[in-house]
Amino acid sequence: MLKRAVATVPMGGGTSKPRIPEPKPFGGAKSFKELENFLWDMEQYFGVARIGVDEQVNIMTMYLYGDAKLWWRTRIKDDLTVGHPKIETWDHLKQELKE
């Protein structure tokens, strides 16, 4: 539905681009359904907004709040102090969120 909305050309031959709705933020709910829907929404957003793979992790983290944001801040800090491998790819980040 999102791709269809973006592909719709405004009437009158206007050259303005349609507005791409942003994904809803994720607060870290321990619900498999909420997490899966958030990840799917982010992937749709990346595709339609043409977000490159090198930007996906940074963009996604801007949509975290509450417990999820605290987890991310702690995880980044642990990367430096504990020696966890740095999360640099979308697939790695999805795996970490699911765990």
How confident is the model over 2-12, as pLDDT tens digits? 556 555 555 55
* Cα 71 from Cα 96, distance rounded (Å): 10
Instruction: Report the pLDDT value the prediction gives residue 57, as an integer from 0 to 100.
Output: 95
Is 36 contained in some domain? yes
Is 8 contained in some domain? no
pLDDT above 90 coverage of the chain, percent: 60
**pTM, entire model:** 0.76
Is 94 contained in some domain? yes
Is 12 contained in some domain? no
Whole domain around residue 92: which residue ranges?
27-98
Instruction: Report the pLDDT value the prediction gives residue 6, as an integer from 0 to 100.
Output: 54
Is 63 contained in some domain? yes
| Contact assessment for residue 6 and residue 18, using Cβ atoms and an 8 Å cutoff | yes
The total domain count for the chain is 1
pLDDT, averaged per 10 consecutive residues of the chain (99 residues), comes to 56 65 93 95 95 94 95 84 85 92
